[in-house]
Structure 1
Amino acid sequence: MTVTPEKHTAMSASSNTFDVVIRCNGKAVGKMRNEARVDIVEPFVESHEIASDEGPFHGGDGSAPPPLTYFVGGFVTCLMTQIRAFAKRFRIALDTLEVDAEFQWKGLTEPGKPYRAQPVGIRLDIQIASDAGQNRIIELINAAKQGCFVEAVISERMKVVHRLKTPDGWIDC
Structure 2
Amino acid sequence: MDNCFIDTTLEFLQIAFHNILYYASIYPISIFETRRKYSIVVYRSNHPEVNEYIDLCLKSIAECLHNGDLKRVEFAITSSDYEVLMKFVFDLDKNDTHDETRDAYLVQAEQNMRAFCLKLTTLSDKFTDLPEDRSFMIFLHTNESAAVAMAANPELESFPLVETEVETEFQHILPLRRFCVRNYNLDMYMEFR
Is the helix fraction higher in 1 or 2?
2
Q: Do the two structures share a fold, i.e. TM-score over 0.5? A: no
Question: TM-score, normalization: structure 2?
Answer: 0.26
Question: TM-score, normalization: structure 1?
Answer: 0.29
RCO comparison, higher one (Cα < 8 Å, 6+): 2
